[in-house]
Structure 1
Amino acid sequence: MRKLRLHRDGRFEVAPGASFTLLDEYRRTIMPGMRLTYHLTDWLGIGAWGGYGFQYNTGLTDELQRVAIDARDCSNRSFTKECQLTRVNLTRGKLTEDQLAQIQWVAAPQLTFVPFRGKLALFAELFVDTDVNFFAGYAAVGVKERKVCTTNCANTFGLDSRVAFAPTFGLGLNFYPSDFLGFGAEWRALPFAWNTSGFDNHGLGTDEAFPDNKVDDKDREFHFTSMVTVSLSVQFPTAIKTTE
């Protein structure tokens, strides 16, 4: 194609943005971050993406704190059935400080593929260069989750940090209103196992499907963690290439 504008070929891209996790059970994450990519060609790039997370509660977490903890004082009622059944799985303090897991940070090297590009017409008047990209990589995920306990777990609450590893992949839609500025949105998956609730989920029996009064790595469950990112991109050098 003649006079094709090459927004990626031979250019270094800096893309600050913000990511938002989807379908969270207990804590949602907002993650400011950045994507850095060097485009070897107009359809292939190599780079890295990462961010640091800030959390806020879902409605379920607020309701659990209010009904199951604040309104149910087990300090003088430890003999009751409800307190006995939940003593390993519910803190007597704050869920967000003692029990519920959160994503602290993510760092992921990745490859980017751009199979589709063209122009998008707005109201048949304004035309914007557009492309669709796919990316895949392997991420290190900083997780804070309930610390391991093997004895006296009813009185052992608190959070510890660890690093999990997960494949990451997704797709993005990008717009280029000028030669060196762009903006876009992408969907990203981070599938890995972690104990989001801090509960004693598994560990007992031949298939480890039943609670064992311990909280350890057996209680981690697979979650198809996903997020949406919106970003602004700047390309260097600022001059754009075109085909003959």
Structure 2
Amino acid sequence: MRPNNLLSISASVVIGAACALLSTTASAQEGGKPGVLDGKPIVVNKMELRKLRVQVTPRATMTLSQPFTHVGFVGAKLQFDLTDWLGVRGDFDYGIVQPASALTEDLTSGTILPVGDETGGGAPKRKRQDRNNPAPLQNDFQAGLTRLNWTGSAGLVFTPFAGKLGLFQSMFTEYDVYLWGGYGFTNWVEAYPDSLSTVEYSGGECEDDNNECLLHPVDAQVGTRTGPAFGAGFHIFLTDWLAVNPEFQDIIVRQNIAGLNATVGEIPIQVNGEDRTIVHNANFSLGFTVYLPPRAKRTTIKPRSGK
């Protein structure tokens, strides 16, 4: 027999023996002792940063969509997570600074809205050159303007994304992204509480048909308005009990911020609830979330029964 044939036969025998050994091993695992990872969860020893924990978030908030008066708030958010992805929350923010917007500064500069003549005492009178100007007098505009005083909301929180965040291939931390929706509350007060409207100057009565309070009535729409609320945010964990928390939110209500008439169906002209329009109260907040209890639990593998 040639040497080449002997080598071919030897190689065939070795390959056949190896295949038989692998087949026997696989059959033994299928019918005998399970593999090390059989029946195990995909992720083990996972840190549960949210499940059954309370979140307390002191925060600072700034309005994003107010046309006349920006408001800076201080407040807090309280949240309890039923699972690692579902929770309930509530928040409250109180306005502490109220800078006028650029629009309001322009309107009250004395060059856009007509300024009434205050000579002779009493209510400011519209000047002759402004009689064809349909805009209200500056004092009436200021008297009818309202701003946010405080806001609050309550709702459900859904956390669909969570994981680890790496920075510069050396710093790693946990993060999560959440959405929430619920019901919101907004409270409105006068933006210029010291300004009097023409009707307030006259004690609530108009003396003649051409009086300013008949042609340009104003009424500051103060009080609490409610409506749907929603938002989104994320946490970047500094430790397992402390995280940075930026958030965007919006509370949609019906409000007449300027306190002016916006309908044409009333004679005489009136300012009432029908003049309110849909208003988006969009805010941005930045806070630090403290988690209680401070130590997060980790997932464990429960032993199989009977093993």
Equivalent residues of 2:144, 2:221 under 8 A apart: no
User: Structure 1 residue 234 and structure 2 residue 274: aligned?
Assistant: no
Equivalent residues of 1:202, 1:212 under 8 A apart: no
User: Structure 1 residue 161 and structure 2 residue 208: aligned?
Assistant: no
Structure 2 counterpart SS, 1:26: coil
Structure 1 counterpart SS, 2:104: helix
Q: 1:80 aligns with which of 128, 132, 135?
A: 128
- Greater strand fraction, Structure 1 or Structure 2: 1
- Greater helix fraction, Structure 1 or Structure 2: 2
- CA spacing shift, 1:218–1:85, aligned 2, 3 Å: farther
Equivalent residues of 1:145, 1:195 under 8 A apart: no
Listed one character per residue, the Cα deviations across residues 18-42 of structure 1 (whole Å, up to 9, x for unaligned) are 1111132111111111100111111
* Residue ranges of structure 1 left out of the alignment (5+ in a row): 206-210
Code of the aligned partner of 1:231: G
Q: Distance in 2 between matches of 1:68 and 1:41?
A: 58
How far the C-alpha of 1:100 sits from its partner, in A, is 1.5
Structure 1 counterpart SS, 2:78: strand
How much is the aligned-residue C-alpha RMSD, in angstroms? 2.8
- CA spacing shift, 1:94–1:213, aligned 2, 3 Å: closer
Q: 1:20 aligns with which of 59, 62, 76?
A: 62
Which region of structure 1 is more displaced relative to structure 2, 69-78 or 116-125?
A: 69-78
User: Structure 1 residue 5 and structure 2 residue 5: aligned?
Assistant: no
Code of the aligned partner of 2:183: Y
How far the C-alpha of 1:240 sits from its partner, in A, is 0.8
> What TM-score, normalized by structure 2, do the two folds share?
0.68
Runs of 4+ aligned structure 1 residues displaced above 6 Å come to none
**Highest Rg: 1 or 2?**
2
Q: Distance in 2 between matches of 1:140 and 1:212?
A: 32
> What TM-score, normalized by structure 1, do the two folds share?
0.85
How far the C-alpha of 1:239 sits from its partner, in A, is 0.8
Structure-1 residue corresponding to 2:172: 127
- CA spacing shift, 1:121–1:90, aligned 2, 3 Å: farther
Q: Distance in 2 between matches of 1:94 and 1:214?
A: 15
Structure 1 counterpart SS, 2:270: coil
Q: Distance in 1 between matches of 2:299 and 2:205?
A: 68
Q: Distance in 1 between matches of 2:129 and 2:262?
A: 19
Structure-1 residue corresponding to 2:32: none
* Residue ranges of structure 2 left out of the alignment (5+ in a row): 1-42, 120-124, 192-196, 301-307
